[in-house]
Amino acid sequence: MSMQNLKLKLKNRQLRKDRIRSVVSGTAERPRLSVYISNTHVSAQIIDDTAHATLVAVSTVGNKKATGTMTEKATWVGAEVAKKAVAKKITKVSFDRGGRKYHGRVKALAEAARQNGLEF
């Protein structure tokens, strides 16, 4: 992939991310579930944008329990973030996929979160 194509790809992802964030916002009643996926790690946060506070955060960085393929890591993160959220009495969230398609790893994370008690 040439450098020009890579820059275009990153620019398009940022445009999608900005477009999504202009609509999706977290409130105290319905915080935002933000997903970030790098080449090697997966992280998710539940954020109250009105208070500018992160309520729950889970990541595979430095975690020995998260092993396997990236899809398996995403499933683990989705389950853990849902368990922590339910423990803090958070059941409804807005899903922020971060400019990525709802497919593969993002879908695995979302389905695992739904199975463990989150609604979105």
Domain locations in the chain? 3-115
How many alpha carbons lie under 13 Å from residue 24 in its C-beta half-sphere? 21
Instruction: Report the CATH fold assignment for 3-115.
Output: Nucleotidyltransferase; domain 5 (3.30.420)
User: In this predicted structure, what is the pLDDT of residue 1?
Assistant: 73
* Report field, pTM of the whole predicted structure over 0.85: yes
Mean pLDDT of 76-86: 97
Mean pLDDT of 57-66: 93
What is the C-alpha separation between 90 and 35, in angstroms, rounded? 17
What is the C-alpha separation between 117 and 119, in angstroms, rounded? 7
pLDDT in tens, 107-118: 999 999 999 999
Q: 3-state class of 88 per DSSP?
A: coil
Spatial CB neighbours of 71, under 8 Å, sequence gap ≥ 6: 104, 105, 108
Structure tokens at 110: 């979302």
